[in-house]
Amino acid sequence: MFTNMEMIHILASFRYLNMLSDEYIDGYITTIPRIGIGTSIDFEALHTGSAIADSQNRQNALDKMRLNIRHAIKKGYRHFDTAVLYQTSHILAEEINMSGIDRGNFFVTIKYQNTPVSYEVDAKEFKGYIDLALLHSPPLSDDPRTFQKEFIREWGKYDGLKKNKFARDVGISNFYPTQVRLAFEAISEYNLSHEEKMCFPFANQLEINVMYQAYDDVEICKEYGMTLIAHTSLKSLCEEKISSKIKKISNQLKPNKCSPAQLIIAWLLSRGIKVVIGSKNNEHLSENLKSTEFVSSISASVKAEIQKLSVERPLAQISITSMDYDKSLEKKLQQKISHGNV
C-alpha cells in the first residue's frame, strides 16, 4: 500500500513525462503551450488617479489590450494568462470567441485572489471552462502550521472547481520551494477525502528571469510533477548592466541573429520552463514566438554564462490589494521549520 505522499509522487512522475510538449486529446489542448501571452495591464491605469482620469485610462488600457490579444491570436499564440486583478478576462473571452478558432485550441489561465468567486461567470464566458485556475499568491503567514491551514482552506475551493468541471486543472502561483513543500504536505496529511487528496497543483507560475533563475524551484516542481510557468521573464532587459551582458551572450549565438529577449525565452524553454510574456509591440510578438528556434543553441556554456548573472535578491513586491509576497516570507518559514516549529 502506498502512502498519500508516495501516491502523489507516482502520479507526479507521470505528469512530468507528459508536460514538455504541446498535446491535444479529443480536440482539447492538454498541456500548456510553451510560449504564452500575459494580459496584465498597467496597474496605475486600473487603480489610481481621479475618477475621470481613471475611467479614461482604464478604457484606453483595455482597448490596447484587446488589440494586442487580437494580434497575438493571429500570430499563433494559444496560451493566454489573465487574473481577476487584471480585469482583462472578459475582453480575452470576447477575442477568443470572435477569432473563429475552436475554443479547444486555446489554453486559458486565470489567477484568483484567494476565493475564486467569479469562476462560474468566467467559465461561461470561455465556453464552459477555464483551462487552468491558479491561486494567485501563497498565504502570507510565516508560521508553517498557519500557512498550511490557510492554504487548505483556499485549496478546497480549487478542488471544487475541478470537480465541477469549471476548470480543467488547478494550480498555484508565486509559491517558493518551502511553500510548495508545505502545500503538498498539507494536501497529503490533512483530513481530506481521497478525491481531494488527489487534486494537487498542476502548475506553479513564478517570477523567473536572469536575475532570479529559480534552480530550486525547478527541482521542487519536478519532484511534485508541476509545470513551471515563468512570468516577468524579460524584467532583466530593463536593468542596464544585466541587459548589456545578455546582449553580449545573444550576439555569440550569431549567425542565428538571436535577440536578447529570444535568448532569455529560449534559455527558459531549454530548462523545461514555460513562459508568459507581456508585449504590446507587434514585432516583439512575432520575435518572441520565434524563440523556439534557438532552444537547441542554448549550450551548457551559454547556460553557464547566464548563470553568472543571477542575483538572488528579494523579488519585487506587489503592494496592491492584500498581495504582498516576497522571498523573505519563504525564508522565515524555512527558519521556523529548521527550528522544528512544524
Interface positions with ligand NAP (CB under 6 A): 38-40, 81, 111, 136, 173-174, 205, 231-235, 237, 259, 261, 276-281, 284, 287-288
Q: Whose CA is closest to 133, among 84, 195, 179, 73?
A: 84
Q: Residue 39 or 213: which CB sits closer to ligand NAP?
A: 39
Least Cβ distance, residue 222 to ligand NAP (angstroms)? 20
Distance CA 253, CA 258 (A): 6
Of 7 and 323, which has the nearer Cβ to ligand NAP? 323
Closest approach, Cβ 260 to ligand NAP, in A, equals: 7
C-alpha cell at 242: 544585466
Looking at beta carbons only, is 152 or 234 nearer to ligand NAP?
A: 234
Is beta strand 35-38 parallel, antiparallel or unpaired with respect to 130-135? Answer: unpaired
Helix or strand holding residue 79 (H, E): strand 79-83
In the complex, what is the shortest distance from the CB of residue 172 to ligand NAP, in angstroms, rounded to a whole number? 10
Could you give the CA distance from residue 63 to residue 181 in angstroms, rounded to a whole number? 41
The three grid cell numbers given for residue 139, joined into one nine-digit string? 498565504
Going by C-beta distance under 8 Å and a sequence separation of 6 or more, which residues neighbour residue 66? 91, 94, 95
| Cβ distance to ligand NAP smaller for residue 146 or 281 | 281
User: What minimum distance in Å lies between the beta carbon of 316 and ligand NAP?
Assistant: 9
HEC readout, 98-121: HCCCCHHHCEEEEEECCCCCCHHH
Nearer to ligand NAP, 62 or 192 (CB): 62
* Cell reading at 123: 467559465
For residue 86, the minimal CB distance to ligand NAP (Å) is 7
CB of 60 to ligand NAP, least distance (A): 15
Torsion, Cα of 307, 310, 315, 316 (10° steps):
-110
Q: What separation in angstroms does the CA of 159 have from each of 135, 182, 203?
A: 11, 17, 14
**Nearer of residues 11 and 237 to ligand NAP, judged by Cβ:** 237
In sequence order, what are the residues at sequence separation of 6 or more whose Cβ sits closer than 8 angstroms to the Cβ of residue 44?
Answer: 57
The b-or-e profile of 270-289 (16+ CB within 10 A means b, else e) is: bbebbbbbbbeeeeebebbb
Nearest approach in angstroms of CB 291 to ligand NAP is 9
Nearer residue to ligand NAP within complex by CB, 321 or 335 = 321
**Nearest-approach distance from CB 109 to ligand NAP, in angstroms:** 8
Assigned C-alpha cell, 330: 519563504
DSSP per position, 145-182:
HHHHHHHHHHHHHHHHHHHTTSEEEEEEES--HHHHHH
Specify the residue, 103 or 231, whose C-beta has the smaller distance to ligand NAP. Answer: 231
Could you tell me the smallest distance in angstroms from the CB atom of residue 299 to ligand NAP? 22
Considering beta carbons, is residue 38 or 116 the nearer one to ligand NAP?
Answer: 38
Nearest residue to 38 (alpha-carbon basis) of 77, 74, 75 = 77
